[in-house]
Structure 1
Amino acid sequence: MKKLGPFLFSSTSIHSKSPTYLFPLIFSQFSTATPLSSLAESDDSSDSEPCDLSLAIIEPRNLLSKSNSSTQGLHVLDLMDRGSIPVDAETYSRLLKRCTQLGKLKEGKSIHAHILNSKLKSDIFLRNSIINMYAKCGSLCDAKKSFDEMLLRDMVSWTVLITGFAQNDQSAEAVGCFLEMHRSGLKPNQFTFASVFKACGALSSSELGKQVHGFSVKSGCDFNVYVSSSIVDMYTRNGEMGGAHKVFDEMTERNEVCWNALIAGYARKGEGENSLEQFLKMQRAGFEPTHFTYSSVFSGCASIGALEQGKWVHAHMVKFGCRVIAFVANTLMDMYAKSGSIEDAMKVFDRLQKPDVVSWNSILTGLAQHGLGKEAVIKFEEMLKKGIKPNEISFLCVLSACSHAGLINEGWRYFELMREKEKYGIEPKMEHYVSIVDLFGRAGMLDQAERFIKSMPIEPNAAIWGALLGACRMHGNMELGKLAAECVFELDPHDSGPHVLLSNIYAAAGKWGEAARVRKLMKESGVKKEPACSWVEIENSVHMFVANDDTHPQKEDIFKMLDKLGVKLKEAGYVPDTNYVLLYVDKQEREMKLQYHSEKIALAFALLNTPPGATIRIKKNIRVCGDCHNAIKLASKIVEREIIVRDTNRFHHFRDGSCTCGDYW
């Protein structure tokens, strides 16, 4: 009886003429085993047939056991060299498959070298498996080298390489490889097209994608559900939702992938309503949502701040037993934070067993958006103590939090920390420099902000000068604001924001002629300002308002509520700040203008249409004005409600006469 190793076992004698089709079977009933090396030896001193392990049964977990003696590195390869295991394609295939599954690049290279020294070195099936192994292990250089060394290539060879490039973010190489394949005369199959469409989507090349789409139609592969799903995804990633919908509507067969692609496409474009609509249609069509579905819908809800819908989708996920895994939790946190409920975002984070760096970044971003700078710093320090290595996004989040909370020293310390080579050695990007300019600018340290810009190792862009311009508007520095504005005009002449800021700086300083000149320049240049508006959502309906809005069906009740609230505000000590009316009119008219700002109209409407004590959520497309901030702060105490206002910069939580921003925003 032969001694049997830890992963080869047989209770019968093994003969060289035994059929090899039993070789891949897994046999694990036997638990007592002896070293593998003794397989080729016999404990019985009597004459016996030589041991041929062609029928040996190898447990997959032991296929890549290390060698103790040879340079090959794997025990199985040693046995093949000794003749104890047959050198055949099936054996090599199993070994390569195991390396691919486990991402074992070093072991895969050993097997590759062994194949090159065997009689099977030209076997096209094995050579394709080698390319696939290298690609799945992330070694595209080795995959391409192996491909180039092949004397004979088939459609699978090309497809495996194209797929490898596409899945490893080398989309240009994937498309180039596809063109070479076409020139070689080989016809692509559905897997080839699916990978090429993925690459076209990643390249955001609409024209190229359309050409490949046309080629797939000529090849007759466009009706394949996997190809069609890839085409839908490609169009959505190029922002062409019309083209994506056309392909989707023409599909005779659909799967979860094409639904997910459509839902994710709308979410990426910030069209949360359409994303939710497709989510509902998907279920009515009989398809169950996947983790990817929920993640995309949460992103869609986050883009429009749809808290109630987001909560409903969260409840739906829990009801149907879909476990909250890391990447879904990250989008769920983002949804709650961007929809105004940082408390719910914190609850999701606290329930994560092993939050990764993306999870930490998500909660840091949320805290920064809600002006909870000190809490963000505490969370960041906790992240460092737990051994989670921050990346460039982590530092950007904490810098933004420090900027919004006026934490000058902490912000500068983190900026220095990220650049320390012995610590993290992260080279700051433009966004980090913008955060530092914003940090100094908000604090009124305009000279220091200007010196910082001049000391930057990279050329400042429009965002840098825009941050300085915003700070100049905030603190009334006309000369520096003019300089910053001129730089922005040169770098980004079509952005209306800097023109408006400069005009407002002049108007606030009483330079009405200069303000008019900037407005005239905007008109002549074709630069259009987006009208300021505020909106609230009541029972799944969005109600939008602009300043002096008299178009709403409830306009009479709204204006009565505004007058009533105005009286109570003045009784509580509110004094209209007419500095925020940048028009050349008298004081009385300025006060009237302030009373009918869009966020105040939205507040009055919400007070009329929500139950007493309910939280009011208002969104605004530009920065909330200082006068409205003061008025809403007092109103929260008068009406005994929490009022949450989201503008382009952050969230303001008004409670009992105060704001979480501490009047620093």
Structure 2
Amino acid sequence: MPPVPHRPPAAGAAVTGAGAPPTADARSGPFPTLPPAASRIHFTRLPPPPSLSSSSTLASPFPSPAASALHPSDEALSAMSPREQTSLLSRQRCWRRARDLFDRLRALPGYAPNPVHYAVLLRHLARARRWAELRRAWLGMALPPSNPAYAALADTLAKAGLARGALLLLRHMRAQGVAPDEVSMNTFVRVLKDQGRYADGLALFRNWCDGRFEVDFLDLDGIAIDSDGPMQFLLADIRDDNFASGALAIDEGPRKPKLVATYNTLIDLYGKAGRLKDALDMFLDMPAHGVMPDTYTFNTLINVFGLSGNMAQAEALFASMVVRGINPDTKTYNVMMTLFASTGDLDGVLKYYWEIGKAGLHVDAVSSRIVLQVLCERKMVCEAEDVIEGILNSGSSVHEQSLPVVMKMYVDLGLLDEANTFFERHCRGKGVSSKNFAAMIDAFAIKGLWEEAEHIFLSRRGDGNNKDIMEYNVMVKAYGRAKQYDRVSSLLESMEGSGVSPDECTYNSLIQMFSVGGFPQRAKKLLGKMKDAGFEPKCETYSAVIRSYSRHCLVPEAICLFNEMKSSGVEPNIIVYGLLIDMFAETGNVKEALHYNNLLEESGISANQVVLTSLIKAYSKYNCWKEAQNLYSRMKNMDGGPDIIASNAMLNLYANLGMVTEAKEIFGSLRRNNNADGVSYTTMVYLYKGMGLLSESVKVACELHKSGLLSDCASYNAIMACYVAKGNLRDCAELVQEMILANIPPDASTFGMIFSLLQNSHVSAEEVLQLESAYNDGKGSAKQAIVAFLFSIAGMHAAALENCEQLLRPEWTIDAWAYNVCFKVYASCGKVEKAFSLFVRMNNLGLKPDTVTCIHLATCYGKPGVSEGLRTNAHLEYRTDELMSSHNALVAYIESGKNNVAVQLVKK
């Protein structure tokens, strides 16, 4: 979908914008069609979400007056049932209060130890990462660890990123002879699934269904030796003699899962493992075992099929929910939006976004984040601003992850004022993480907007949100792209003052920046600092500095760094060898180029096209065409064959040696394969011309002109050289005009050919000499005047007049010779009055007429034989005197105010 043009709203005006047209293959169904392209997309203003209060938390299944308080009296606790006590213990918001409440429960008269209470306490302690307290609670349990404790603790450890400790519990269960029930089995399968161990998760489930409990296939011995984990105290209970021979049997024998949560886990596991048919079979098998799918089941299955690219099946499942009477929740719509966003289907995203409100649900942070992402990616500014306004109206704030996305949209569109306003409103002084600050800085850095990036970098943060190394690294990138190298030093000083140490990325970015910027010595100094800081530079880092040395022809420094690289144990790759070989090739040192090519092959690396091309260039310096030819033949046997650079190098070598037959063979091959470029054609044009084969040269030049490969001044000059050789004045002039229109300014070679052409085009020697002198003196308007003169004598009067108008702009100050050119152009076009006005201006400026002026006056007066006489040396002095007399008469009329008489004199 093309971006919608943005029209910044006036101050205080409502934000509006154009909408997105529906796709042609819009899906039919019970949903209303999308608005037409001409209408504005209006996002529904959804009501604010309900405020969170204690009443919205999980309520006890047996409510009582005592259970409504988080801190009841001992009498109230005693009156509660075990389930009410469990609910109260679960709702504690602090691990200390949970522990204290648990201790109070244990102290109640007649309290019977409850394994679920222990499980809830362990969950609280694990969530708070109170490992010492957890160990004491575990060791102090009045009951042996049971399934609730194992399941609760494993789930919490896994969510805390401690999956190894969670799986250690599975080994502990096996050692203690505790067979998993369905809840704990489901928990451990989920842990294995989240770790990507799909086969292990399925094996654990199948064994459980068969009535067996085996853990050997999980390779838990590697986990058991992790003595630094929070559950290391369990290792004392895990001994080989605790394992009975064979598998631990489950008394119930083979079984099927009865919990919908188990089916949900397995459906997700099959989906992530790419086994879609098994996932669908598991879903279809649920009703046969008396387990009905719930909303979470459909959400999981929809996500599984959608991520696999089967959007039709995902939509069919969504429709099936409604048919079965299972109400989608906000997460269901979010899943559908995510799937359509992943395929770039904006209409699909918006359809399900609108349906949230229609279903009586509330947009959550995920919904807003998804829709903002797709709108910002498509640069739909007004629509994105509508979503933001709706978020604010609901009493919420823009999700932190959406902040860089919106900023990038504004920056990419050049709406810097809007970006700054958004930042001030939503980011400055807020609790935005350093990671997202870095992303916003990067949006400016990519565009080279270092000042805007610096503004964000220096902005005030929320409490506890300090800059981390990622922001500094992005600022290095911003300064590097903008070539603000001096600011990097102050940035590094501020980094040290903030207690932030450069990391490996910092050093690599700095070294790359100074290498590309042409400061190899500073890059080398940073390389030393990087090593002193304990980082080991990689081959790519050394390569950047060596490349900078080679570009500046610092050969000893490049070789020294190469040797340092090898002594550090870093093996050079083909890029490093190629840089050195090319460096010596450019300097014509064939011996050293071959030496490093030998080192390359000795290291077991085969030379590629780039290396062989460099060697061909080296041989070309000494016209060693046989050696170069052998390398070129070797390249023909490589994948892809010789590239255009190698072919042009050989063409240039053959051209320098006048080897027309060999050059024609390569050029013909390039043309047949449509690989010839402007350099190829240019080389052949000069080769044929230099060998006196003018017709062949012109033929190739014409082919080059029609090929669309004219991209630089050299290729244009090659064609012009042929036109000059044949005396084609008009063709040369048109070619110069084409160059100017293509924004390719003529160079010294172009003007040299123009002067050569003028000297052979019946133009007076005085005119050519005056133009050449102005060009050689570097006069500011010389090039413009020469081009105008060329256009005029070639009969391209419109182009000549256009150039003269530019020369005569008020802000330009031109000399008499430039007036002479304009005078000639206007006179040649028959604009006598305009020419006369220039003559008057020259007189007013005190610019005395010279021989060239008189020549142009002759053209202007149009006296028979005068123009021709002036071009003959025998008559030059006589005709000049005659014209000077006319000039003096003109001046006399002008000074006496008789301009009309002067004009009539000119017209005569």
TM-score for the superposition, normalised by structure 1 = 0.53
How far off is 1:22 after superposition?
3.5
2: distance between equivalents of 1:379 and 1:456? 42
1:264 aligns with 2:401: no
Partner residue of 1:315 out of 440, 445, 458: 458
Q: Which residue of the partner structure matches residue 281 of structure 1?
A: 421
Q: How does 1:20-35 map to 2 (within 5 A)?
A: 22=120, 25-27=123-125
TM-fit CA distance, 1:406: 3.2
In 2, are the aligned partners of 1:333 and 1:345 still within 8 Å (CA)? yes
Q: How many Å apart are 1:329 and its aligned residue?
A: 2.4
- Report if aligned partners of 2:350, 2:371 keep a CA contact under 8 Å in 1: no
Give 3-state SS (helix, strand or coil) of 1:253's partner. helix
Task: Determine if contact 2:476/2:509 at 8 Å carries over to the other structure.
Answer: yes
Whether the 8 Å CA contact 2:116–2:149 is kept in 1: the answer is yes
Amino acid at match of 2:181: V
Q: Which residue does 1:113 correspond to in 2?
A: 204
Report what 1:448 is aligned to: 615
Residue pair 1:440, 1:448 contacting (<8 A) in 2 also: no
| Structure-2 change in CA distance of 1:177 and 1:377 (3 Å) | farther
Name structure 2 gaps, 5 residues minimum: 1-97, 210-254, 287-292, 322-330, 392-397, 590-612, 618-627, 714-738, 742-746, 756-771, 784-908
Amino acid in the other structure paired with 1:341 = Q
Matches within 5 A, 1:155-304: 156=296, 174=307, 176-184=309-317, 189-196=332-339, 199-200=342-343, 208-210=344-346, 212-213=348-349, 216=352, 226-227=366-367, 229-234=369-374, 240-241=378-379, 244-245=380-381, 247-251=383-387, 252-254=389-391, 255=398, 256-265=400-409, 271=412, 274=414, 276-283=416-423, 285-288=425-428, 290=432, 291=434, 294-304=437-447
Paired residue total: 501
Question: How far off its partner does 1:370 sit?
Answer: 1.0
* Equivalent-residue separation in structure 1 for 2:382 and 2:452 (angstroms): 27
Cα shift at 1:448: 1.4
**Conservation of the 8 A alpha-carbon contact between 1:105 and 1:134:** no
- Asked whether the 8 Å contact 2:450–2:478 carries over to 1, the reply is yes
* Corresponding position of 1:361: 508
Question: Partners in 2 of 1:299 and 1:461 — Cα distance?
Answer: 40
Give the superposition deviation at 1:78: 3.4
- What is the rounded CA distance, in whole Å, between the counterparts of 1:378 and 1:231 in structure 2? 48
Structure with the higher fraction of residues in strand conformation = 1
C-alpha distance in 1 between matches for 2:684 and 2:490: 42
Partner AA of 1:209 in structure 2: D
- Alignment partners' CA distance in 1, 2:458 and 2:536: 33
1:524 aligns with 2:667: no
Query: Aligned-residue CA RMSD in angstroms?
Result: 6.5
Q: CA deviation at 1:321?
A: 8.1
Contact preservation (8 Å) 1:399, 1:414: yes
Contact conserved, 2:686 with 2:697, CA < 8 A, in 1? yes
Deviation sequence 1:255-276 (CA, Å, 0-9, x none)? 2544522433566xxx4x7263
Aligned counterparts of 1:163 and 1:310: Cα–Cα separation in 2: 38
CA deviations 1:508-544 (Å, max 9, x no partner) are 999899999888667634568599xxxxxxxxxxxxx
**Alignment counterpart, residue 584 of structure 1, candidates 753, 762, 765:** 753
1:281 CA drift (Å)? 3.0
**Structure 1: which 5+ runs fail to align?**
1-7, 43-48, 166-172, 201-207, 532-546, 550-577, 599-665
One-letter identity of the residue aligned with 1:343:
D
Write the distance in 1 (CA, Å) between the matches of 2:472 and 2:707: 45
Q: Which residue of 2 aligns with 1:78?
A: 172
- The amino acid that maps onto 1:524 is K
1:325-349: CA deviation from partner (whole Å, max 9, x where unpaired): 3333222111101111223335545
How many Å separate the matches in 2 of 1:521 and 1:229?
A: 56
Q: Name the structure 1 match of 2:553.
A: 406
Cα distance in 2 for partners of 1:471, 1:325 equals 53
Q: Secondary structure at the match of 2:407?
A: helix
Of 519, 523, 526, which residue of structure 2 is paired with 1:372?
Answer: 519
The question of 1:326 aligning with 2:469 is answered yes
Give 2:480's aligned residue. Answer: 337
Structure number, greater radius of gyration: 2
**Identity, % of aligned positions:** 11
Counterpart CA distance in 1 for 2:553 and 2:445 is 26
Instruction: In structure 2, give the amino acid aligned to 1:405.
Output: H
Q: Matches of 1:317 and 1:486 in 2, distance apart?
A: 66
Higher percent of residues as helix: 2
Q: Which amino acid aligns with 1:181?
A: A
User: Which amino acid in structure 1 is aligned with residue 261 of structure 2?
Assistant: F
What is the rounded CA distance, in whole Å, between the counterparts of 1:228 and 1:155 in structure 2?
21
C-alpha offsets along residues 6-40 of structure 1, whole Å, 9 cap, x if unaligned?
A: xx997637535866883564248895787999778
Give distance in 2, aligned partners of 1:590 and 1:466.
35
